[in-house]
Copies of this chain bind each other. A is one copy, B any other.
């Protein structure tokens, strides 16, 4: 284990000194948003640390990146700045370093109890892209929507398929989601269905938060792509399956998705995840050269989705999956995104797509878990085909280290009835 903080951290906590995920928060209602990192049950206020002159390295000493309402400026500064920030923060929080530990006034200013902090979106998201990189999810959706013949389209094994999502409706964990209204397939000669979605679903995803971008017209080499990734968040890409099924021919998902996408407030950095890197699945056929990596890795992150029906105390686990089930790596996704010269910008959000594992109990959405409403999913005393009003969906995820966890906290949202 080694490294230890003077801040007490419970062994089950997602936020030991080995993690130090970044977020943006208000320490009290009405105060200015500012960057922070999670440590145990506290948020370390990075604007206070910066004001105290404790970021004393060559890159961050004169930067105002911690006096911003979002993390975009830090993200744009790239890996050297992130490495320096992590080293400084780990030192400041370490049990052997007296600077903050023994200064009650600084501690008072800089360590905010997490239950007092209001977490906000950590970044201003310029563009949000959602990939489709779990083979199991792709196969299941293909069978459900298009039948058992070639459920995986032939292009899928050659490129990480994706679509542009809606950036404006990305919200932070804890934000309620209003059940969308929209059109669904007509029955017989009637006009299309119109009303509240009858097939509201979650999608268990993770997403990359982009660091430095690229110039329009240039591409990012797949072997350098990791330097353009600041970290990962949990993501719930809420989906209205009836709206989606009716609208998506021929241009893809639109209103079936754009009513809301929830991300975790904490961005766990690639540095914190590095101990949990593992080999990515073998790819067959071999990818084209621009997608061929010297080292092809993914991260072992255990993921879980729970649903808490209205009025119940307890949330019920409905699926357990893992990021490592993805076919295409995060760096392949990012490199592919830029191969045509498309420019990424700091703070862009690149979703993985639904992360389904091979077994039915690891499927990442209700569409798959209930096979488009053909099976009932048990939630203790009640059942679900799709989400009902008042349901709260809670995604969590963590990697298990030797005596500590590196986790993401929760990514949750509750369904409110349609207006």
- Give the interface of A toward B (CB within 8 A): 126-127, 129, 132, 142, 145-146, 153, 155, 158-159, 161-169, 171, 177-178, 180-183, 186, 191-192, 194, 213, 216-219, 240, 243, 246-256, 258-260, 285, 288-290, 336-337, 339-345, 348, 416, 419
Contact = CB atoms under 8 A, between A and B. Distances in A.
A218 B419 contact: yes
Nearest to A176: B217
Q: Which of A126, A155, A167 has the most CB of B within 10 A?
A: A155
6 contacts: A180-B341, A181-B219, A181-B341, A183-B288, A240-B340, A259-B342
A168 B288 CA distance: 26
A142 B249 CA distance: 11
| Copies assembled | 2
A168 B127 contact: yes
Given A161-B247, A169-B216, A218-B419, 6 more contacts: A153-B249, A161-B254, A178-B216, A181-B340, A217-B259, A219-B419
Given A178-B341, A183-B288, A341-B178, A251 B161 contact: yes
Q: Is the interface of A mostly helix, strand, loop or mixed?
A: loop
A86 B159 CA distance: 50
Contacts of A256: 340
Nearest to A217: B178
A186 B248 CA distance: 25
B341 A259 contact: yes
B255 A252 contact: no
A178 B357 CA distance: 39
A183 B285 CA distance: 15
A336 B243 CA distance: 12
A189 to B, nearest CB: 10
Contacts of A249: 153, 155
A42 to B, nearest CB: 30
Given A183-B288, A288-B192, A217 B419 contact: yes
A254 B336 CA distance: 11
